[in-house]
Amino acid sequence: MSPPRYRRHAEVLWRRVPGGAVVLPPTQDAPIHLNGPAVLVWELFDSGATVGAVRDAVAALCDADPDEISEDVAGMVAYLAGAGTLEVAR
Amino acid sequence: MTLAEALPTVGHAPLTAAVAAFGLTGSLCELPDVPLAPRAWDELLGTVRHERIPGLLAAAVAAGALPVEPEQGAAAGEAAVLSAGSCLLVERRLLAVHERFDQAGIPTRVLKGAAFAHTLYPDPAQRAFGDVDLLVPGDHYDDATAVLTAMGAHRRYPEHRPGFDRRFGKGAAFILPDGYEVDLHRTFVSGPLGLRVDTDGLFRTATPFELGGRTLLGLGLEEQLIHACYHAALGSARPRLTALRDIAQLAPHPRLDVHRVRRLAAAWHGEAVVALGVDLAWRTFRLADRTALSVWAPHYEPTPAERRVLSVYVGTSRSYAGQALAGVAALPRPADKLAYARAIALPAGPDRSHLAAMRHHWARGVRAITDALRP
């Protein structure tokens, strides 16, 4: 079974701001300010990706070892999905 | 006599205008090349928030076009985050109202803020806004009002008389239960210039954009420019920088049909307004780039009749009462003139507080009518 692909939730409203993004998921009453690695992860889910693909892309962009950042990326994806900013791509 | 001589307007500080011009091709506005002193920075930040241009300030800072101290950069970033969040919350209300209108079969065009942010600017964060602006056709106006009322919204001001908004009004402001404002428009402005706009024609063209997974419609490109000019030139005593920036984004647009702009503006008796709006934008942002409209605008000579109509919107005799009363002359049918005059002179409903203001301006208004009727 292939790992799930996530993408940005179609109903999320958002804006880029210097160094980050402000997102308003459909399930939240207040906007969320993403910065640092979180916004990088958010950007990488533009058109749908697996957590592993995003981890590898973040590792390449940050010149980091994928295994070392795996837990952090998974945590960010869990946070973003839990906040309603990501949905499973069909 | 040119527009600038006939209709002097209050300008903006060069530094604020330079921030609002950031990214505009051909602007000769200059940002300082060293960080501002603390007091000057605080003043700038306050004005930037008031003018709703934190997105442009943050972009200028991020691009290195405006050098800042570290704490100033942080403050600019924070202002941009707050501005962005505020716009997203307005967009959520826009989508909610739009969905209810859609379900009720009410056609809409999104005006100004959200539509311009998503169709004209390289980054929507550069165009902030504070409320929902929706245009609906006059024959759907009462239905739209009923939908908003069903959503728990209340009118900010009472209608002059039942049916006035649908037939003659610019529109009305509604306050949603959570405090957000929805400006429900029928036309661009109150008074004679609003009454002469072909409001049915505004729904024959559209500029679509995506928002929150839905497709919304803004006005057609030429109508957008004309509306931006009406809003900038007539909307407030001092034109808002966002409104002027909208004109500067629209006028050089490669798909803009300048002949259609001129034709529509002439049909709506609004050529002087378009010329004034374009000229204000070019002067405010010191735009060196020449477009067909920017070459035409400063040389446009308003007729005496145009100057009389504009005088109720611009300058020291600007007043809502004057605009309302001058509207009588813009209505072609005697029955409409009578109904309109009756509504503004004898408003119905429990709150007649605006009647006192109307009477206060009555003498000035009568003069406005007399002037408007003069050949």
Cβ pairs bridging A and B (under 8 Å): 55
Contacts of B55 in chain A (CB under 8 A): 15, 17
Q: Give me chain A's average pLDDT, please.
A: 89
The percent helix, strand, coil of chain B (3-state, each to 5) is 55, 10, 35
Residues A9-39: pLDDT tens digits?
A: 999 999 999 889 999 999 889 999 998 888 8
> Are A17 and B81 an interchain contact pair (Cβ–Cβ within 8 Å)?
yes
List all residues of chain A from 25 to 64 with a beta carbon under 8 Å from chain B: 26, 30-31, 33
Confidence (pLDDT) at B357 = 47
Q: Does B125 touch chain A (CB under 8 A)?
A: yes
> Are A18 and B211 an interchain contact pair (Cβ–Cβ within 8 Å)?
no
First to last CA, chain A: 14
How many Cβ atoms sit within 10 Å of the Cβ of residue A79?
15
Contacts of B212 in chain A (CB under 8 A): 10-13, 26
Confidence (pLDDT) at B375 = 38
pLDDT band at B86 (very low <50, low <70, confident <90, very high): very high
B30-37 contact pairs (CB < 8 A, 24+)? B31/B60, B31/B65, B31/B66, B32/B66, B32/B67, B33/B67, B34/B67, B35/B67, B35/B68, B35/B69, B35/B72, B36/B68, B36/B72
A14, A18, A24: residue with CB nearest B58: A18
> Are B212 and A13 an interchain contact pair (Cβ–Cβ within 8 Å)?
yes
Residues B307-345: pLDDT tens digits?
A: 888 887 776 666 777 777 776 677 777 777 777 777 777
> Are B81 and A11 an interchain contact pair (Cβ–Cβ within 8 Å)?
no
Q: What distance in Å separates residue B126's CA from the closest CA in chain A?
A: 10
Q: Does A14 touch chain B (CB under 8 A)?
A: yes
Give this prediction's pTM.
0.87
